[in-house]
């Protein structure tokens, strides 16, 4: 997709009413510091629209980023952060669950994991939870640039086995530094939202 304009349109807190955007939505989940904001900024071709932070648990709301008035990238609160009470975590969990259950426009959920480590208990729990809520998570293995090239295939295998991904399960290695994987993610999102066909028509016109 050619990015013409992006904006943070909607921010939902624990007590907010979830919106009906009437546009295709793609959601992103992942634990704190896995590079979710960096990925979303890279996808939007922006440096700091999604706020990155060294402080875990910075995203405490569901953030809807409007792309070209055509679709939304939806940033879900990070999980696994240390400085939040269990009751707060439970509230965010319910908020995310409500979103997964009630959104009529959600087309897919991307789950981010750190390619350098085997999936944590939290990663596995989130993967199973997304499945339980009716979506087959698409895995983005972040921080690819932190690995030597010789380590990549072994690390991908460890992530696949750790999450018990089915053979047909999609895993895309990604680097916010080099943007490797960005085009692959966009091609997939265009396909999932049906917007790729519209882009082709525009290019031919």
User: What pLDDT digit, counting tens, does each position of 163-194 carry?
Assistant: 999 999 999 999 999 999 999 999 999 999 99
Higher pLDDT, 53 or 188: 188
What average pLDDT does this structure show over 4-9? 94
Which pLDDT does position 156 carry in this prediction? 97
In this structure, are strands 25-30 and 71-75 parallel, antiparallel, or unpaired?
parallel
How does DSSP assign 102-120, residue by residue?
A: H-SSEEEEEEEEETTSPPP
Q: Decide if pLDDT at 26 tops 60.
A: yes
% of the chain exceeding 70 in pLDDT: 89
CB of 61 within 8 A of CB of 69? no
Q: What share of the chain is helix, strand, coil (3-state, %, to 5)?
A: 40, 20, 40
Which pLDDT does position 52 carry in this prediction? 56
Which pLDDT does position 201 carry in this prediction? 53
Distance (Å, whole) CA 192 – CA 204: 21
Residues in the chain: 205
Q: Decide if pLDDT at 203 tops 60.
A: no
Which pLDDT does position 205 carry in this prediction? 46
Which pLDDT does position 59 carry in this prediction? 57
Q: What's the predicted TM-score (pTM) here? A: 0.90
Which pLDDT does position 177 carry in this prediction? 95
User: What pLDDT digit, counting tens, does each position of 108-137 carry?
Assistant: 999 999 999 999 999 999 999 999 999 999
What average pLDDT does this structure show over 47-55? 66
Cα-based torsion angle of the residue sequence 174, 69, 77, 108 in order, rounded to the nearest 10 degrees: -60
CB of 128 within 8 A of CB of 159? no
Higher pLDDT, 5 or 84: 5
What lies within 8 Å, CB to CB, of 184 at 6+ separation is: 172
Residue with tokens 């955007």: 21
> In this structure, how many other beta carbons lie within 10 angstroms of the beta carbon of residue 16?
12
How far is it between the farthest Cα atoms of the chain?
54
């Amino acid at each position: 997709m050619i990015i013409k304009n992006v904006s943070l349109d909607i921010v939902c807190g624990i007590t907010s009413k979830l919106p009906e955007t009437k546009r295709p939505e793609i959601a992103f989940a992942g634990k704190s510091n896995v590079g979710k904001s960096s990925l979303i900024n890279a996808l939007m071709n922006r440096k700091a629209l999604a706020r990155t932070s060294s402080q875990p648990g910075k995203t405490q709301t569901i953030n809807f980023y409007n792309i070209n008035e055509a679709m939304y990238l939806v940033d879900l609160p990070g999980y696994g952060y240390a400085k939040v009470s269990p009751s707060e975590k439970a509230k965010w969990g319910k908020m995310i669950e409500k979103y997964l259950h009630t959104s009529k426009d959600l087309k897919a959920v991307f789950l981010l994991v750190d390619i350098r480590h085997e999936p944590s208990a939290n990663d596995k729990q989130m993967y199973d939870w997304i499945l339980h809520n009716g979506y087959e998570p698409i895995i983005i293995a972040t921080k690819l640039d932190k690995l030597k090239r010789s380590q990549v295939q072994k690390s991908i295998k460890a992530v696949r086995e750790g999450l018990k991904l089915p053979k047909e399960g999609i895993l895309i290695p990604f680097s916010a530094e080099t943007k490797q994987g960005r085009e692959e993610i966009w091609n997939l999102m265009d396909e999932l939202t049906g917007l790729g066909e519209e882009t082709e028509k525009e290019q031919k016109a």
